[in-house]
């Protein structure tokens, strides 16, 4: 077993293996409900379930928990498969649907009725809730609880045959209306719902409840360890009850709970993410600001970074919120050596080098990543007109400003030292539109014979050969650490109105070969990924993260 990823879950599995439970096998599953796109919280569950299976040389199934036809869709089924594969996990031929088991689940329910462990109830949903009691008061038995087995069998079959309207009857387990655990007070197993199912069409008008379908799906598939999030801890007695009371199951899965992932500055529930999509707060499920796997992928996150993140946060029982800065740290760590470092000027300021001959181009040697020589070198054109970053120039700079200012010298990375001679302004607005500079031919990078020392080094691109680029800068989707902090206000009120800034930029010609999905460092600016919106006319980039690593800083302070 890997020693970098251990947890209380591993301890439980080790113990089970030692005791020879479940024939010493480990078989897990990842059971998404296809009612939305997967998010980073699901990634935690995927890494855990598939990871545990790999570590113990077992298997992990992909199972669609599709028992709620009204909210499910094939679009989601497809995106989920794509996301799991992209994260690097394989289910081979082990992809299942809870709906594959509808016939079996029905048979099991008939068995429970035959054993006097389930009954058809005619109470309305409101009455059922009322009869259930509360945490402090016991429940009350339904007047229909003691129907004969024969009557129950007949009614259940007629429920299936479509003789009763939606919501008029349910099948309930006969457990204990005074149990201290509300989940054990005769929970509903089946409901009548006329809805078209994405796989079974109109075959069924009764659908099993999650708490009934889940343990049985696990048992049917021979799952040994059913790992889920802590809100199901109170459901475990019901899970076990179902496994124990359904006859002839050949597997006894064990449910283990862990704390779900919460991430700062975002929301995680699919229901809420769907609202953001449907109400137009973002462009779609794969909007690069979304915490969805498809959003993170489009943004430029790597599967390696996400897996590393999931490993670092680990698994525990206690709920906590992880700072989004850790996720950002992980992608920086992954891209440090991988991403070529090219130059891009995000907010361009034109610079004319007066003593450089017109029509001349000099090709400068530039390494592609000084941390990783394997990425090789390229040539960068240098010419009379270049662009630098607007905020690398100040007309009236404070003392500690080491970049360009009137009369000052800076080095252009991989090129020459230039000096600012004059500032050209728009006559009407006073806005700086151009700098006139001179360069020192003795200072060519790598062959500098001038002995000059300058404090600042700037990135730049040559105007003539530059490629147009749209650069999309993202900030957190929500202004608050915890957008759901107040129960009284809608979380959408905390959406960050400045979460996207779009710039018209220039990038160096080396980007001509860039393909959608390509990841780069823009020197001094951060990591960027080429967006599929790119066209012949212009490249489009998403900023993955800036270079400023607030996570690393926080760790140092500790
Ligand atoms: P959501 O509220 O986002 O819809 P869910 O739990 O209803 O989440 P499912 O599709 O049912 O979504 O989840 C599939 C699996 O992913 C479950 O085993 C669930 O426990 C796990 N999961 C969902 N959200 C998280 C999270 N934030 N952290 C860890 N695991 C999660
Ligand atoms: Mg769910």
Is residue 2 predicted with pLDDT exceeding 50? no
Distance 269 CA to ligand 1 centre (A): 8
**What is the position in ligand 1's atom list of the atom closest to the CA of 45?**
30
Encoded tokens for 508? 């160096």
Each residue's pLDDT tens digit, 397-422:
999 999 999 999 999 999 999 999 99
228 alpha carbon, closest ligand:
1
Is residue 364 predicted with pLDDT exceeding 50? yes
Instruction: Tell me the C-alpha distance between 464 and 41, whole Å.
Output: 46
Whether residue 529 contacts residue 542, with contact meaning beta carbons closer than 8 Å, is answered with yes
Instruction: Tell me the C-alpha distance between 192 and 162, whole Å.
Output: 8
The helix-helix angle for 40-55 and 74-86 (nearest 10°) equals 60
Each residue's pLDDT tens digit, 30-87:
999 999 999 999 999 999 999 999 999 999 999 999 999 988 889 999 999 999 999 9
Range of lowest pLDDT (6-10, 129-133, 292-296, 342-346): 6-10
pLDDT at residue 3, rounded to an integer: 45
Q: Which of 34, 42, 256, 266 to mutate to test the pocket of ligand 1 (most atoms within 8 A of CB)?
A: 42
Is any atom of ligand 1 closer than 6 Å to the C-beta of 42? yes
Whether residue 41 contacts residue 260, with contact meaning beta carbons closer than 8 Å, is answered with yes
Cα-based distances in Å from 528 to 340, 344, 471: 10, 10, 9
CATH number belonging to domain 3-258: 3.40.50.620
Is residue 1 predicted with pLDDT exceeding 70? no
313 alpha carbon, closest ligand:
1
Is any atom of ligand 1 closer than 6 Å to the C-beta of 268? yes
pLDDT at residue 114, rounded to an integer: 98
Each residue's pLDDT tens digit, 435-492:
999 999 999 999 999 999 999 999 999 999 999 999 999 999 999 999 988 787 899 9
What mean pLDDT is predicted for residues 197-226? 97
Each residue's pLDDT tens digit, 227-248:
999 999 999 999 999 999 999 8
Alpha helices (H) in 199-319, listed in sequence order:
210-220, 236-245, 270-278, 293-299, 303-313
What are the strands, taking DSSP E only, across 368-499? 377-382, 385-389, 409-412, 417-425, 432-440, 457-458, 461-462, 467-474
Nearest residue (CA) to ligand 1, atom 4: 270
CATH superfamily of 270-340+469-557: Ribosomal Protein L25; Chain P (2.40.240.10)
Is any atom of ligand 1 closer than 6 Å to the C-beta of 63? no
The residues spanned by each domain of the chain are 3-258, 270-340+469-557, 344-459
CATH number belonging to domain 344-459: 2.40.240.10
Is any atom of ligand 1 closer than 6 Å to the C-beta of 229? yes
Does the fold of domain 270-340+469-557 match that of domain 3-258? no
- pLDDT averaged over the chain? 96
pLDDT at residue 489, rounded to an integer: 82
Is residue 6 predicted with pLDDT exceeding 80? no
Provide the pLDDT confidence category of residue 4 given band limits of 50, 70 and 90: low
Q: Which of 7, 34, 41 to mutate to test the pocket of ligand 1 (most atoms within 8 A of CB)?
A: 41
Is any atom of ligand 1 closer than 6 Å to the C-beta of 34? no
């Amino acid at each position: 077993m890997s020693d970098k990823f251990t947890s209380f879950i591993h301890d439980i599995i080790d113990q089970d293996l030692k005791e020879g439970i479940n024939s010493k096998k480990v078989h897990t599953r990842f059971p998404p409900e296809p009612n939305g796109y997967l998010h980073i919280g699901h990634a935690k569950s995927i890494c855990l379930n598939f990871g545990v299976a790999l570590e113990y040389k077992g298997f992990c199934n992909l199972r669609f928990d599709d028992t709620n036809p009204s909210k499910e869709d094939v679009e989601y089924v497809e995106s989920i498969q794509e996301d799991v594969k992209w994260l690097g996990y394989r289910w081979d031929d082990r992809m299942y649907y809870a709906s594959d088991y509808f016939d079996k689940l029905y048979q099991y329910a008939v068995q429970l009725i035959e054993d006097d462990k389930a009954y058809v109830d005619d109470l309305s949903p409101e009455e059922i809730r009322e009869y259930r009691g509360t945490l402090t008061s016991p429940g009350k038995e339904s007047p229909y609880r003691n129907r004969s087995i024969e009557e129950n069998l007949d009614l259940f079959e007629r429920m299936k045959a479509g003789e009763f309207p939606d919501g008029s009857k349910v099948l309930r387990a006969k457990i204990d209306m005074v149990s201290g655990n509300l989940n054990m007070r005769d929970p509903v197993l089946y409901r009548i719902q006329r809805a078209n199912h994405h796989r079974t069409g109109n075959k069924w008008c009764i659908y099993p409840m999650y708490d009934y379908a889940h343990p049985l799906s696990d048992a049917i598939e021979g799952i040994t360890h059913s790992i889920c999030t802590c809100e199901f801890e109170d459901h475990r007695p019901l899970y076990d009850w179902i496994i124990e009371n359904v006859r002839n199951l050949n597997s006894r899965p064990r449910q283990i709970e862990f704390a779900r992932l919460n991430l700062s500055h975002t929301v995680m529930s699919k229901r809420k993410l769907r609202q953001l999509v449907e109400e137009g707060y973002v462009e779609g499920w794969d909007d690069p600001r979304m915490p969805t796997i498809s959003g993170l992928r489009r943004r430029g996150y790597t599967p390696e970074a996400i897996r590393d993140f999931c490993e670092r946060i680990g698994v525990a029982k206690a709920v906590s919120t992880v700072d989004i800065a850790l996720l950002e740290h992980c992608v920086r760590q992954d891209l440090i050596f991988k991403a070529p470092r090219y130059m891009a000027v995000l907010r361009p300021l034109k610079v004319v080098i007066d003593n450089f001959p017109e029509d001349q181009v000099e090709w400068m040697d530039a390494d592609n990543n000084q941390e990783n020589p394997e990425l090789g070198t390229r040539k960068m054109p240098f010419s009379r007109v270049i662009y630098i970053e607007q905020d690398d120039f100040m007309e009236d700079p404070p003392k500690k400003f080491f970049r360009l200012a009137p009369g000052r010298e800076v080095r252009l990375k991989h090129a020459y030292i230039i000096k600012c001679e004059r500032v050209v302004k728009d006559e009407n607005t006073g806005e700086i539109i151009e700098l006139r500079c001179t360069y020192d031919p003795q200072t060519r990078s790598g062959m500098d014979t001038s002995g000059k020392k300058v404090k600042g080094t700037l990135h730049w691109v040559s105007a003539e050969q530059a490629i147009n680029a749209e650069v999309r800068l993202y900030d957190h989707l929500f202004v608050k650490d915890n957008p759901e902090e107040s129960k009284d206000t809608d979380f959408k009120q905390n959406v960050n109105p400045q979460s996207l800034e779009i710039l018209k930029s220039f990038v160096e010609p080396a980007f001509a070969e860039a393909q959608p999905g390509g990841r780069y460092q823009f020197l001094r600016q951060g990591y960027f990924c080429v967006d599929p919106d790119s066209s012949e006319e212009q490249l489009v980039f998403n900023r993955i993260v800036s270079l400023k690593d607030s996570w690393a800083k926080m760790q140092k302070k500790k």
